Chain A
Amino acid sequence: MKIKYINKILLVITLVALSAVPFLAKAAEVTQEQIKGLDEQVQDIKQDVLELTTELSLLEEKLLFPSNTQVSLFVSLYSGKKFVLDAMQIKLNDKVVAKHLYTFKELEALRLGGVQRIYTGNINTGDHSLIASFLGRDASGEQFKGEADFTVNKAVGPKFVEIKITGGDSADQTISFQDW
C-alpha cells in the first residue's frame, strides 16, 4: 500500500516535471532552408487563390452584370499636384448610385495615372442621365465643388464611361466625360 502511494507521488511529480518541460525547453531553431521551403509553399497557395479569384471575379461579373446591361463608370484625375480630391458622387437617372471619400493612397494612385472604377451596374438600352460631382480643396486648402452632366447612350454591349477631372492646383477643375 505504501509502495503504491509512493509510486503515485512519483507519477505526479513526473507529470508535473514533464508539463514544465515545454516552458523550460528552448524551441528548435528555424533554418533558412525551412523558411525558403515554406515561402515556396506560400507562393503556390497565392497562385492557386489568384487563379481561383480571377475565375470567380469573371463568374461574378457574368452573373451580376451581364454584358448586355452592364455599365461601368471610371474616375481619372488630370489635375495639379496641390489639388486634393476629397469626394465624388455619381447620380445615374437622378438616383445616387455611388459616393466615395478618397484616402491619401487612393488620391496618390489617381495622381500617378491609376483609374478608379467607381460604379458598375445594370441599365437597359437607351439614354440615361449621368451627373458626376466632386468635392475638393485647392492649394490654399479652400473647399469647392464641381458638377457636370452627361447622357449615357447604352447600346447592346457593355458601356464604359470615363469621368475625367482636369485642372491645375486651384478651383479651375472641370469634369468631362469620355465614352469608351
Chain B
Amino acid sequence: MLLRSGIFIAAFLCSLSSYAASGLKGVELRDLYFGEVLFYAYQDKYFEALERLDSELIQYYRVDESNLDPLSLNLGQAEFSVGDIELQYRMDKRAGKAIQAVLGRGIDLATRNLAALDLARMYFRKNDAERALYALDLIHDEVDMTKYPDKSVEDLRGVEPENFKVDVLYLRALAYISTGQFSNAVDILDSLRNEASIKGYVLYNLGIALIQAQQELPGLEVLDELGRLETRDKALLALKDKVNLKIAYRLLDSANAEQARLYFQRIRLDGPYSNQALLGAGWAEAALDRYDRALVPWTILHKREKTNHSVQEALMAVPYAYGKLQAYGKSANMYAEAMDMYVYEISRLDDSIKAIRGGKFLEALVDEETGQDENWVVNLRELPDAPETRYMLDLLASSDFQTSYNNYRDLADLKIRIETWLADLKVFEEIIDIRRAYQEPLLPIVGDRFEKIDARAKLRLEQRNSLAGKIKNILIAPRPDFLATADERLALDRITAFEHYIAEYPAKVTDDQVYRVKRLRGVLSWRLQSEYDQRLTDAYNHLLSLDETTKAFKKQYSSFIRTRQAATQSYEGYQPVIRRLRTGLLAAQRKLKGVMAKQGRFLETMAENELDRRRKRLEDYQIKARFALAENYDRVSGADQDKLIEEQNQLREERLKQLELEKEARKTEEKAPSAGDSLDKDSSILNNIPSN
C-alpha cells in the first residue's frame, strides 16, 4: 500500500511538535529562584533548569515554615514544571510520575487538565496510544467543589490555555488512528476541519483515516483538497508537496499516468520533494511513450546533487530515454558517465563507512559546534573526516535516530558534568583543608578568651537584672537609700556606726557630738528625700541606656556565636558527604560509560546500515548501466562502434580527472552554503525533525 502508516506517523510528530503548548508559558513570578529555573527552561537548558528546580523544591520541603518561603506562591507551577521540563529533557519515565503527582494534587482544574494532556502527549510520543487515550479521559470540564468548599469556582477552574480543547481533540483523533478506531478519528477530525492553525495536518490525517476506514474515495478527495491548499507556511507547503507526490505515484502505479502528471506538476521545483517529483514526472511521460518530454524533468534532475537517490536514478533514466529516441551514441556516453559517477559515489560511501568505523561519526555528532543550532546536519557535513551526511538525510530525520542522537549528546553532556564535579570535589576538599589549617589552631584561643568574656558578660547581665528589679520595687515602695551615691552610702554607714557607738557608750560622747551626728543624718536624709524623684528618673534613664548597650552587646554576642559556628562549619562535616557524592559520581560515570558506548554503537550501526543500503543500490545501478551500455553497443554498426569507444575513452579520462579535482575541492566547497535542491532537502528534513 502506497500510503503506509509510516508516512502519516511523521506528519503526526511534525504537527504535534509545532502544535505543542508548554505549561511553563505565562507564569506569574513570585520567587526569584523559580524565575531562574524559567530563565534556563526558556533557553532549552533543561538540565540546569531541573537541577535548580529540584534544589528549590528540596529546600522548600526541608524548612519548617515552608509557607514563609516565596516558592510557596509558585509551588503549583513549580511542581507542574518538574514534569514539563522532564518531558522536554526526554525523561519520560520520571515526567510521567511527576505529572501524575500533579494530577492527584492540583486543585486548579486547568492545571490538572493541562497535566493530563501532557501525560497523553508523552504516551503518544512513546507509541502508547492506548495510554494516551486513558490520560485524555482524565480531562474534565466540571469543577469538583466538594473537596475545596472554601475556594471560589474561578480559583478552582483556573485559566485554560488558548487552543486547549482543540489540542485535546486533535491528539485524541491521532490516538484513535493509532489504535485503529478510524471512524472515531474521522468524526473528530471532520469537526476540526475549520481550525486554521492545524488545517493542513487535520486534512492529512483525515484523508488517511478515511482511507483506512475503507472510504478511499472521500479520503483521496480530502488529500486532494490538501494538495490544493493555499498557504505560505513552509511546513504545510512541504506536507502539501508530499501529499501530491503520494497521490501522483499512486496514480502512476495504477497505470493512470495522464492524471499522475497533473499531481506531479503541483509540486514545487524548489521544495523538498522536487527531486522525486521530477523523477516521477519523467516516468509519467515515459509511461505515455513521450520520451522527448520525459527528458525535460529528467535533464533538470540530472544536473542536481549526485548523492540524491532520485538524481542517481535519473543518471540511468536520461540515457534510457535517449536510447528509446534511438540516440544510441549519446545514450551510451551517458550510461558510461553514470557508471563513472556510481564508481565515484561508491568510493565515497566506502570512505564514509570507514570514517564511521574509525569513530569519526560519533566525534562529529558530539562536536560542540555541530549541535549549536537547528542546522546541525549541515554543520556535521562541514566537519573534517565526517561521513557524507547527504546519504543519511532520511535516517537522520527518523525518530529512532533522533532518539539515539539526542541520548548520545545528553550522555556526552552528562559525562562532562560528572568529570567537572569530580574535579570540583577535589577543589572543595582543598578549600576545606585550608580552612581547617587556618581555623583549627585559632579556635581554642578565641574560645578561651570568649569564655572569660562570656563569664563577665553573664555577671553584668545579672547585675543589670538585679538593678532593674530594684527600680521596679522602688516604684511600688519608695526606698530613697537605694538611690544614694557611693559617698553617701559610706557616710550613712559611718553615721550608723556613730549612732551605734552613742547608743552603746552614751557617757563617752558629748551632747555636741550627738547633735552633730543627728544633723549629719538629717542632712543626708533630706538630700536623699528631696532629690529622690530626680534620682529615680536618672536611674531609670541609666537603665534604659544600659539596655541599649546590652542590646548591642547581645547582637555582637550572637554574631560572634554565629561566626564561630560558621568557622567550625566551614570545614567540619563535609568529608562524609563528599565521599558519598564521589562514590555516586564514580558509579554514575561507570554506568554512563557503558551505556554511552552502546548508544554510540547503535548510531554507528544505523548510519553504516544506511550507507550500505545506498551502496548496494548504486551497485545495482552499476550492473544495470553496464548491461544497458552493452545493449547500446550492439545497436550501433562496427565502424561507429570503434568511434564510439574511442570517444568514450576520451570522455572518461576527462571525467575522471574532473571527479578527482572535485574530490579535492569538495571540502573547501562544502564550507560555503550548498545551493539548490540539496539545501532544500536538508531544511525540509530539519523541519520534520521533532524538536524533542
Chain A residues near B (Cβ < 8 Å): 22-23, 26-30, 32, 34-35, 38-60, 63-64, 66, 68-69, 72, 74, 76, 105-106, 108-110, 112-117, 125, 156, 160, 162, 180
Find out whether the CB atom of B400 lies under 8 angstroms from the CB atom of A42.
no
A57-B55, A116-B36 known; 9 other A-B pairs, CB under 8 Å?
A30-B400, A30-B609, A38-B599, A40-B93, A42-B595, A54-B51, A64-B431, A69-B566, A113-B38
Determine how close the nearest CB of chain A comes to the CB of B92; give it in whole angstroms.
Answer: 7
Please, could you name 12 A-B residue pairs with CB atoms under 8 Å apart, sorted by A?
A: A34-B602, A43-B93, A44-B93, A44-B591, A46-B91, A48-B584, A49-B592, A54-B55, A60-B428, A63-B431, A66-B570, A180-B70
Task: Answer whether residue B636 sits at the interface, using C-beta atoms and an 8 A cutoff.
Answer: no
Find out whether the CB atom of A53 lies under 8 angstroms from the CB atom of B595.
no
Q: A60-B424, A113-B29, A113-B35 are in contact. Are A48 and B609 (CB under 8 A)?
A: no
Find out whether the CB atom of B609 lies under 8 angstroms from the CB atom of A27.
yes
Task: Answer whether residue B612 sits at the interface, using C-beta atoms and an 8 A cutoff.
Answer: yes
Find out whether the CB atom of B591 lies under 8 angstroms from the CB atom of A45.
yes
Find out whether the CB atom of A108 lies under 8 angstroms from the CB atom of B42.
yes
Determine how close the nearest CB of chain B comes to the CB of A109; give it in whole angstroms.
Answer: 4
Q: Which residues of A contact B47 (CB under 8 A)?
A: 50, 53
Q: Which residues of B contact A113 (CB under 8 A)?
A: 26-27, 29, 35, 38, 42
Give the interface SS of chain B, mostly helix, strand, loop or mixed: helix
Task: Answer whether residue B466 sits at the interface, using C-beta atoms and an 8 A cutoff.
Answer: no
Interface size class of B (residues with CB under 8 A): 35 or more
Find out whether the CB atom of A42 lies under 8 angstroms from the CB atom of B428.
no
Which of A34, A53, A63, A109 has a CB less than 8 Å from the CB of B428? A63
Q: Which residues of A contact B595 (CB under 8 A)?
A: 38, 41-42, 45
Find out whether the CB atom of B38 lies under 8 angstroms from the CB atom of A114.
yes
Determine how close the nearest CB of chain A comes to the CB of B405; give it in whole angstroms.
Answer: 11
Most A Cβ at <10 Å: residue of B43, B50, B425:
B43
Q: Which residues of B contact A110 (CB under 8 A)?
A: 39
Q: Which residues of B contact A27 (CB under 8 A)?
A: 604-605, 608-609, 612
Alpha-carbon distance between A160 and B595 when the two chains are bound, in angstroms = 41
Find out whether the CB atom of A115 lies under 8 angstroms from the CB atom of B29.
yes
Find out whether the CB atom of B91 lies under 8 angstroms from the CB atom of A63.
no
Find out whether the CB atom of B39 lies under 8 angstroms from the CB atom of A116.
yes
Find out whether the CB atom of B32 lies under 8 angstroms from the CB atom of A115.
yes
Find out whether the CB atom of B91 lies under 8 angstroms from the CB atom of A47.
yes
Within 8 A of A (CB), among B77-108: 89-94
Alpha-carbon distance between A171 and B354 when the two chains are bound, in angstroms = 58
Alpha-carbon distance between A41 and B424 when the two chains are bound, in angstroms = 26
Find out whether the CB atom of B562 lies under 8 angstroms from the CB atom of A109.
no
Find out whether the CB atom of A50 lies under 8 angstroms from the CB atom of B54.
yes
Give the 4 A-B residue pairs with the shortest CB-CB distance, closest first: A115-B35, A114-B39, A109-B42, A27-B605
Task: Answer whether residue B495 sits at the interface, using C-beta atoms and an 8 A cutoff.
Answer: no
Alpha-carbon distance between A158 and B577 when the two chains are bound, in angstroms = 23
Find out whether the CB atom of A43 lies under 8 angstroms from the CB atom of B570.
no
Q: Which residues of B contact A44 (CB under 8 A)?
A: 93, 591
Q: Which residues of A contact B585 (CB under 8 A)?
A: 52
Task: Answer whether residue B468 sits at the interface, using C-beta atoms and an 8 A cutoff.
Answer: no
Find out whether the CB atom of B51 lies under 8 angstroms from the CB atom of A46.
no
Alpha-carbon distance between A66 and B574 when the two chains are bound, in angstroms = 13
Task: Answer whether residue B411 sits at the interface, using C-beta atoms and an 8 A cutoff.
Answer: yes
Q: Which residues of B contact A112 (CB under 8 A)?
A: 25, 38, 42
Determine how close the nearest CB of chain A comes to the CB of B464; give it in whole angstroms.
Answer: 24
Find out whether the CB atom of B58 lies under 8 angstroms from the CB atom of A42.
no
Which of A35, A109, A116 has a CB less than 8 Å from the CB of B404? A35
Find out whether the CB atom of A109 lies under 8 angstroms from the CB atom of B566.
no
Alpha-carbon distance between A74 and B34 when the two chains are bound, in angstroms = 12
Find out whether the CB atom of A26 lies under 8 angstroms from the CB atom of B612.
yes
Q: Which residues of A contact B25 (CB under 8 A)?
A: 112
Within 8 A of A (CB), among B540-557: none
Within 8 A of A (CB), among B559-594: 559, 562-563, 566, 569-570, 574, 577-578, 581, 584-585, 587-588, 591-592
